[in-house]
Each structure stands twice: as structure tokens, then as C-alpha cells.
Amino acid sequence: MDPPFNEIYKNLLFKQITNTENNVPQIPFSFSVTAVVEEVELPVIDVSRLIGGAGKEREKCKEEIARASREWGFFQVINHGISMDVLEKMRQEQIRVFREPFDKKSKSERFSAGSYRWGTPSATCLRQLSWSEAFHVPMTDISDDKDFTTLSSTMEKFASESEALAYTLAEILAEKSGRKSNFFQRKMCKKHMLSRMNRYPPCPKPSEVY
């Protein structure tokens, strides 16, 4: 069940600007402008070259990772070696969790307090509103609730396989920033790791929100 976006954020969704001089309601400026979205190619990096590629290919892959980090602050990896079976099980568990009633998700005791988040409480306009819901789950805090053992075991498998990838990327980023290869790894520990599950419910004004 979706969070109550329409109820909680109705003032932002349907707010009108009133002309203070003649008290005539006007269409908000943001609603009357047609958005022009420029298509861009986001960085997608094939990291299989780090393992099976020749020396030049490995170095090229590292350079792509460093450049994407500098210019974008993020990148998507493909052919990363994480089991497709684990990824599919994780996807199915995520669907199951988000399909639960909103009250159950928001008051769930299977994860630590504050793990479930939705919307943007501080938003004063639609551009600041994130029309999404998410679980931020610390890996040291996966619940042992008997009704959700499959979720717990699946998240543990996913974390185990993605951890090695995270260390590899951290080593490359440290190296390419002029630091020792273990610079970031020394600061990484399981108590600081989390899995984030995101969902983006249908939005009546998708071009207006954040």
C-alpha cells in the first residue's frame, strides 16, 4: 500500500498562487511551464574487465570509474559478478515488503527505528518533494522475525556478494585519488554498511517533483 502522499502533501500538489493586488487565483508558475528535459548518457561501466581483461583494459576500466566519480558522483556497474539468482530473490523480497500496508511498514519492528522513510517532511514546494519510499537497513540490524526469515537470509547473501565489489571499487577510488589502496577499506566496517531498498509509487505530477 502506498504512503499517503496525496493527503500529507495536498497543499503542495494543489496549492495556487493568489495575486495579492486583485485577489485573482493564478496557475502556479511551475505548473504552467513545459519542462524541457535534455537526454544525457549516464555512466555505465562494465567491471568484468577488472577480472578478465588485459592490463590495458583493466586500467581503462579504472579510469572510467575515476572519471565518473569526479564528473557525476555515481555510476552504474554491469557484469559485476553478483549472482543473478540472488538479485532476483532480492527483487522479489523487496516487492513483498513494499506491498505491505503502510501502517505495518511505518511501524515495523523487524528493522531499527527510522529505517522506513518516505516523502520529504521538510519540503515547501514540489521540487523538494521526493515521491518515494525506502528502507535503509543496517546489515548488523537485520531482523530475525520468524515471518521474514527469507528476507533476512536473502539480504545477507546479497550483502556478502556485494561487499567484495564494494571493496574493489573503494580500492580503485583510493588509488586514483592518490591515496593508499586501503585508504577507504580501513574506514569500512560492517556496522556502517546498509542495504537500501527503494520504491517510486505512481505520481500525479512526475515532472514536478524532485
Predicted local distance difference test score (pLDDT) of residue 38: 60
Q: How far apart are CA 65 and CA 59, in angstroms?
A: 10
The model's pTM: 0.74
Q: List, for residues 96-132, the tens digit of each pLDDT value.
A: 999 999 999 998 777 788 899 999 999 998 899 999 9
Predicted local distance difference test score (pLDDT) of residue 143: 53
* Cell matching residue 162: 556485494
How far does CA 15 lie from the centroid of its chain?
Answer: 29
Neighbouring C-beta atoms of residue 134, cutoff 10 Å = 16
Nearest to 198 by CA among 106, 134, 120: 134
Q: How far apart are CA 57 and CA 46, in angstroms?
A: 10
Q: How far apart are CA 159 and CA 85, in angstroms?
A: 14
Ranges of residues in the chain whose predicted pLDDT is under 70: 15-39, 143-148
